[in-house]
Amino acid sequence: MTEHFPNAFRETEPVWVHQLPNSKYPRFPSLDHDIETDVCIIGSGIAGISAAYELITGGKRVTLLEAQHVLFGESGRTSGHLSNALDDGYIEIEKRHKPNGAKLAAESHTWAIDRVAHIIRTLDLDCEFRYVPAYRVSKFLPGDLKHEADNKKISKGADYARDAGVDAVFQKGFSVSGWDGDFSQEDAAVFAAQGAFHPTKYLLGVLEWLKAHPNFQCFADTRATGVDEGRNKVIVWTEQGYNITAKDVVEATCIPLQDSSILAEISYCRTYCIAIRVPKGSVEDCLIYDTDDPHKYVCLTACDNKNDYLIVGGCDHKVGHQDSLDRFEILATWACQRFTHAGTVDYHWSGQILEPVDHMAFIGKKEWKMHTYVITGDSGNGLTHGILAGRLVADGIEGRENSWAALYDPSRMTSAA
């Protein structure tokens, strides 16, 4: 492990702390009294903060609860991709949800990318956002008999994505600038207008705006232990013994509270990431996905005046099914075989992925509930799922129809589909 990892035994940290260490995160008090509010949101990751933003701008009073410190969960351990080139692919999505469902999935994730851009402009945030292309490439080397067959699948996937409304095309002979190693690459599905950004800079920027708003309050180190929905109100119970009385509650937690029916529809996976130094300009600023199973994924983020960080992720496995493989070393070797300018690994970390059996997140009212909403099941696209969830939940609470609602409805019978 020491070949790529000069600090091999350092505690794992995501690359995002390089420019924004945890010590700069805002601190909020813990709850020490009972309160009333319009909406109580449990969880301060991208889903909770996005929901808070949409609701506050709609005139609601919002109370945000976090069991630890803000952004100490999975949203701070992401890879920074904002993409409508969905992990599960539009062929599989159309099988499960028919052409119209695939179009709604594409539309909602495209909206999420553009929504981030809009919020950044509105709040004047500095978080490295830019539109970039994404490339899906074969795991097989050019000349391998399996390469051409794999390309046919990639091309078909691009056709399905385009039919769903994504700007996607398969390009024969296309090569990614900077992919110059012995493990060469040729041909790709090209997806236009994807997004990349510094996720914690973005979320803390939104959170600082919320913090200054008179209708917003946040309590950290406040673990919700239960939600009790009555006829005209919902009560959130906390570990401290105090409670929040709200008109509506949003469970924006990685794993939903008290809902075995949703849990039964999700598999739990672990994914791994490294951040490896490359000279600025040596690798194209883009998103990359290969066709391996599990696939590898790549993007860039800033390091310093001379270097960028190449973020390489993958080696996913189901929780409880892992083996003794050193997944960080596998990712570093994979990167160095393809990008000759890759240097040492400065950061390595892992994150949780919740995979719904039908590829779509669970967003909306919990089954048999009128005022309790849930957001879970990111399916490998947690950032865009979290952002579009803010819109879906706000529309539900404010009584607006949303054409995406049925696709993400938590009460849908996925196992029987």
Q: Is 192 helix (H, G, I), strand (E, B) or coil?
A: strand
pLDDT of 323 above 80: no
Geometric angle at alpha carbon 288, from 285 and 291, rounded to 5°: 170
pLDDT at 287: 98
What pLDDT band is residue 9 in, cutting at 50, 70 and 90?
Answer: very low
Domains of the chain and CATH, by start:
15-79+200-264+358-407 (3.50.50.60)
pLDDT at 128: 97
pLDDT of 138 above 60: yes
**Nearest partner of 203 among 74, 39, 377, 391, judged by Cα:** 74
pLDDT at 8: 46
Mean pLDDT to the nearest integer, 184-204: 96
The Cα–Cα gap between 257 and 242 comes to 18
Which range of 157-166, 253-262, 357-366 scores highest in mean pLDDT? It is 157-166
pLDDT at 322: 64
What pLDDT band is residue 189 in, cutting at 50, 70 and 90?
Answer: very high
What pLDDT band is residue 196 in, cutting at 50, 70 and 90?
Answer: very high
Mean pLDDT to the nearest integer, 88-102: 96
What pLDDT band is residue 281 in, cutting at 50, 70 and 90?
Answer: very high
pLDDT of 415 above 90: no
pLDDT at 166: 98
pLDDT of 48 above 70: yes
Count of helices and strands (H, E) across the chain:
8, 17
Q: Facing residues of 168 across strands?
A: 191
Amino acid of residue 344: T
What pLDDT band is residue 245 in, cutting at 50, 70 and 90?
Answer: very high
pLDDT of 3 above 80: no
Quote the mean pLDDT of the chain: 92
The Cα–Cα gap between 50 and 55 comes to 9
Q: What is the 3-state secondary structure (H, E, C) of 124-150?
A: CCCCCCEEEEEEEECCCCCCCHHHHHH
Cα-only R_g, the chain: 21
Amino acid of residue 413: M
**Nearest partner of 73 among 121, 157, 16, 114, judged by Cα:** 16
Picking from 121-125, 157-161, 258-262, which range would have the lowest pLDDT averaged per residue? 258-262
The Cα–Cα gap between 353 and 108 comes to 20
pLDDT at 379: 81
In which element (H, E) is residue 268 found? strand 266-279
pLDDT of 328 above 80: yes
pLDDT of 307 above 90: yes
Handedness of CA 290, 8, 325, 322 (dihedral sign): negative
Please write the tens of the pLDDT for every residue from 115-126. Answer: 999 999 999 999
Those residues whose C-beta lies under 8 Å from the C-beta of residue 325, and which sit 6 or more positions away, are: 315
Please write the tens of the pLDDT for every residue from 335-352. Answer: 999 999 999 999 999 988
Residue 112, phi then psi, degrees to nearest 5: -65, -40
Residue 301, phi then psi, degrees to nearest 5: -145, 160
The Cα–Cα gap between 277 and 145 comes to 33
**Nearest partner of 289 among 96, 153, 124, judged by Cα:** 153
Those residues whose C-beta lies under 8 Å from the C-beta of residue 37, and which sit 6 or more positions away, are: 61, 62, 63, 217, 244, 245, 246
pLDDT of 416 above 50: no
pLDDT of 59 above 70: yes
